[in-house]
Every structure is written in C-alpha cells, then in structure tokens.
C-alpha cells in the first residue's frame, strides 16, 4: 500500500492522526534528529528545535510493496519562509540502487510537497566508482532538472537545519 492521500493530511496534522500512521509519521523537535539503518546514519542538527515531520517511507508510508523502489525516510520542515523536504536513503554499498530509490520516491511524493525546497541525501558505507555509469548519470540529471540538491555521505552524514533553510 502506498499512502499518498494520507501523506498530504499528515503534512498538516502529523503524529498518529490515524492508527495506521503511527509507524510512518512523527513530529520531532530534538536538537539532533537521527535516522539509522545498519552502519549508515543521517543526522539533522536542529539547535533551534524547529519542528520536523519524519516520514518512515520504506515499511511505513510504503508498506507491503517489495517491488516499489523507495527511499528510507523523508524529513519535512515547514517554516514561515518556505518548506524544505529531504529524501534520505541509507545504504551499504549499492549506490546506483540508492539513486534509483531516491528517483522513484521523488516521482511518487514530490507532488505532496509542492512549493518546497528539495534535497536528496544518500549515506553509504562504500561508494563504488560509478561516475561513468549511464543509469547514474541519467538519474543525477533528472534530480538536477527537478531542482533537487543531491549530496552523499559515508557512514554518517551530518548537516545543520540552518544551512538547509538559507
């Protein structure tokens, strides 16, 4: 099941509006908002404790859809200037697969966050040399055309919410 319509509702009124949402949507204002899978982690430093809605996509917003490529998390930050969305994929070493998951998640969910600034983050334990790979180049071009800032990290990626909201 892919939760598209409810996702739009959760953006406005997150945190367990429906019982089925408790595993996929959470409003957080911690000073460090972390997601982790195995050895890869992403940390959003949030010293001003700005509310962030954390969507668990794989196994949450998108559940029971093994054939559907999707990222692991989406962080949604809404403030008075503009909202910001971060698509996050945590991987071992299959960077090309991570790119495919980000691309598909953008296609599935970008419309739910219209008017937002978009980022994509991939955290891997190893990065193979895929710069000349046609599939990877095609996906990176797609993300650039969609005005999505792509960045990568090895093992742990940290960034400040202040830098993203500039």
The pLDDT, as a whole number, for residue 6 is: 59
This prediction's pTM: 0.88
Task: Indicate whether 159 pLDDT > 80.
Answer: yes
Rg for the chain, CA atoms, rounded? 15
Nearest to 124 by CA among 100, 94, 147, 87: 94
Pairing of strands 117-124, 84-90: parallel
pLDDT at position 1 is 47
DSSP secondary-structure letter at 34? E
Residue appearing with tokens 């999707």:
70
Both structure tokens of 83: 């909202």
pLDDT at residue 12, rounded to an integer: 64
What would you measure as the largest C-alpha separation in the chain, in angstroms?
46
What pLDDT is stored for residue 135 in this prediction? 86
Query: Is the confidence at residue 105, as pLDDT, over 70?
Result: yes
Residue range 99-111: mean pLDDT, rounded: 91
Tokens of 24: 């996929």
* Distances 46 to 29, 84, 122 between C-alpha atoms, Å: 7, 14, 19
Cα–Cα distances (Å) from 133 to 34, 58, 73, in that order, read 31, 26, 25
């Amino acid at each position: 099941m892919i939760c598209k319509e409810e996702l739009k509702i959760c953006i406005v009124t997150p945190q367990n509006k429906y019982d089925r949402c408790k595993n996929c949507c959470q409003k957080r204002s911690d000073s460090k908002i972390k997601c982790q899978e195995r050895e890869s982690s992403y940390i959003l430093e949030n010293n001003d404790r700005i509310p962030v809605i954390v969507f668990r996509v794989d196994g949450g917003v998108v559940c029971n859809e093994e054939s559907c490529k999707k990222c692991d998390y989406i962080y949604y930050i809404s403030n008075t200037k503009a909202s910001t969305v971060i698509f996050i994929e945590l991987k071992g070493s299959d960077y090309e697969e991570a790119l495919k998951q980000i691309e598909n998640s953008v296609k599935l969910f970008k419309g739910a966050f219209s008017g937002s600034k978009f980022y994509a983050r991939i955290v891997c334990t190893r990065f193979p040399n895929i710069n000349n790979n046609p599939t990877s180049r095609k996906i990176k071009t797609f993300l650039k055309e969609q005005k999505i800032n792509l960045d990568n990290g090895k093992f742990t990626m940290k960034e400040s919410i202040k830098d993203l909201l500039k």
